[in-house]
Amino acid sequence: MTIQERQQDLIQEFSKISSWEDRYKKIIEMGRKLPDLPESLRTDDAKIKGCQSQVWLHAKLNSAGQVELQGDSDAMIVKGLVALLLQVYSPADPEEIIKTPPDFLKAIGFEGNLSPSRTNGLFAMLKQIQMFATAFKYLKASQES
């Protein structure tokens, strides 16, 4: 499934939920289903700068050449946002991550309905995912040449 298809699935899923209170409940539920990040990956290097809550993102390149992401947060709504991003971007080809804009965020209404600090944190997480993808794109290219 492509990133675009995953985005469309989320847009459809959230479009069935009319109230923002229920959408927050859905986000929290997604966070509860996210496996806890092992302590060994909760390092300062993996912390996302720009988030008020503690957020950790870890990435690796799998044997198929796709970026696999893991993440966690100490705040329930933010952990749900991490789960949402992982659902869209993991696993995926680095080039696809780089080229696919996060249109689902606006379509779902996150840009106008999250607090400014959560919005900043969300975009800091997206920026880190883009940075991982860029690094892995160049790693793949150097391995292939």
Q: Residue 140 has what pLDDT?
A: 78
Pick the catalytic residue: 30, 34, 48, 51? 51
Chain length of the chain: 145
**CATH class for the domain made up of 3-144:** alpha beta
In this prediction, residue 112 has a pLDDT band, given cuts at 50, 70 and 90, of confident
Query: Does position 66 have pLDDT exceeding 90, yes or no?
Result: yes
The amino acid that residue 136 corresponds to is F
What is the band of 99 on the pLDDT scale with cuts at 50, 70, 90?
A: very high
Q: Domain ranges in the chain?
A: 3-144
Where would I find the beta strands (DSSP E) of 29-140?
Answer: 55-61, 67-73
Question: What is the pLDDT at residue 88?
Answer: 98
pLDDT above 90 covers what percent of the chain? Answer: 83
Global pTM? 0.94
- Respond yes or no: is residue 11 known to be catalytic: no
Q: In this structure, are strands 55-61 and 67-73 parallel, antiparallel, or unpaired?
A: antiparallel
